[in-house]
Amino acid sequence: MKSYHNQEKGIGILFDDIYVVNGARTPFGKFCGTLAQVSPTDLGIFSSRAALLKAGVSPTDIDQAIMANIGQSSGDAYFLPRHIALYAGLPTTVPSLMVQRICASGFETIITASEQITLGKAGMVLCCGTENMSLAPTVSFGNRMGYALGRPVFKDMLWEALDDTAAGYPMGFTAENVAKKHNLTRAQCDEFALTSFTRAVNARNNNIFKDEITPINSTVFEADGLKPRKVKLPGGVKDFVMDEQIRETTIESLGKLATVFSDVGVLTAGNCSGIVDGSAAAIIADKSTIDSKNLKPIAKIIGGATCGIDPKHMGLGPVPAIKLLLEMTGLSIADIGLFEINEAFSAQVIGCEIELGLDREKLNVNGGAIAIGHPLAASGLRLSLTMIREMNLRKIKYGIASACIGGGQGTAILFENINL
């Protein structure tokens, strides 16, 4: 292990023999769609159980559970990490932890799990990121103390999550700032969005996502000594397996949409990330544990880096994070065969593409969050799993997955294909 910290460049860590055994995710349901009434805890149970099954790992072999959830959108939100772990079948003696780095929280579960293993506090860890944005509540802060006659104040917590009060405006405006910095046009942003949708449609039609998605059905989760949890999908839906945000579109259709952040801006509902509900999970382990249990991991975790940047250009966070990760490993952009950069906003990803000098043929090759959606805490795990599977399909040695983070940060993780 080699760790790094520098106030100007950021923080990072390189790992010795830490691996992604396997993982799985739920399909991502569109805003107020099929998964709208399924709590983030239940979504996490679905993906965690599937990840354990996919990895060929018994729940009793897990030493820790590291979970992520951003928007607390269910009554048991405080207990979410513990409830997911217990209903996934982990022993009651195994502790659970919640981590939060907003849009990079899924990545943070992987990094934290790898650090815990490196410290000798675990041999194998269950990681899970889960989000139900449809269930984001409307709240009245301070209501317990009362309010002036006829003047109750309510806040939409989903909107509040998208509004960076430090920057002084919603995060969409920070992406418009990136567009201005690089003189990006509406046409460029729509073209990028069309590429995302087209690649995602092709990936879906070619069953690229089939191996990572677990079917969702109405069910009852049970665990010894615990109250059963009932999950019911609407309208008798069975075997829900398709991402609802993915759809075919045209450049003409995208061009008809109104801008959403500025009258003279470039961003629309069609070229920004979709608001969706979903969860993703992965099993992380060290080499000795993998060898002792005769497991077949899908990738090695080389290291991760996180950096802070100006909140007004928060979408460029992946740039310093990826640069630091490459500096730490001695690799170059040319050495990396695939990149996944979370598509929070089209302009933001294009800005990263320009500043890093990326080849778009290596970037988000199966589409990204514009087409698939961005369930905040789940995205880092989804990006990692999708890219790792593509690395194995294409026989590519290195891949980097990254995301910008609201408030002005960026995180990146470098994975190595060990199955060449």
Question: How far apart are alpha carbons 365 and 407 in whole angstroms?
Answer: 27
CB atoms closer than 10 angstroms to residue 64: 22
3-state secondary structure of 71: coil
Catalytic residue among 103, 127, 128, 272: 103
Gap between the terminal Cα atoms of the chain:
24
DSSP alpha helix (H) spans, 259-298: 287-292
Buried b (16+ CB within 10 A) or exposed e, 225-237: eeeebebebeeee
Question: How far apart are alpha carbons 4 and 30 in whole angstroms?
Answer: 39
DSSP alpha helix (H) spans, 88-165: 105-118, 157-161
103 in catalytic set: yes
Q: Which two tokens stand for residue 309?
A: 């940047």
Residue type, 247: R
Contacts 24+ apart (CB under 8 A), 334-337: 335/397, 335/398, 336/362, 336/398, 336/399, 336/400, 336/414, 337/362, 337/391, 337/394, 337/396, 337/397, 337/398, 337/399
Please tell me the chain's helix, strand, coil percentages from 3-state DSSP, rounded to the nearest 5. Answer: 40, 25, 40
Give the position of tokens 């805003």. Answer: 31
Catalytic residue among 128, 189, 352, 404: 404
Q: Burial of 355 by CB count in 10 Å (0-12 exposed, 13-18 middle, 19+ buried)?
A: middle
Q: What are phi and psi of 410, to 5 degrees?
A: -150, 145
32 in catalytic set: no
Q: Which residues are catalytic?
A: 103, 404
